Amino acid sequence: MMRYVIPLCIVLSIVSCKEVATEPRVEVISVQEMEEVLRAESVQLIDVRTRNEFASNHIKNAKNIVYQGDDWAAQISELDKDKPVYVYCQKGGRSAKCAALLEEAGFEKIYDLEGGISQWTAEGKEVE
């Protein structure tokens, strides 16, 4: 009996120390996926482009929180970290960086629009 206890303890300690795989917090989504979500529910939709870019066009109901803006931290602190947040920029570069910052800030689930608003408009989707 004793000869089984030690190997069993070793196996259990290895298994218990192994990191548990977690679902990634940031997910890149397509225009179609974003459109479906926006149609179905009210979401935290963040446009991280400059104020001038936002003024020229943006997705309906988006909030403009400028990437690397002076008030970035203050504005994201007003968002609900437990609810999904959707981000986009012009083509996807800035929103990917912002998604990483949101993840660091403790947001549970972040969705990043693939191709940004450029892809959104290229697929004929409505902007304001």
Q: Where are the beta strands (DSSP E) in the chain?
A: 26-29, 44-47, 63-64, 85-88, 110-113
β-pair type (85-88, 110-113): parallel
**Angle value at C-alpha 97, between 121 and 82, nearest 5 degrees:** 90
**Catalytic position from the list 9, 17, 89, 98:** 89
> Is 9 known to be catalytic?
no
Residues annotated as catalytic are 89
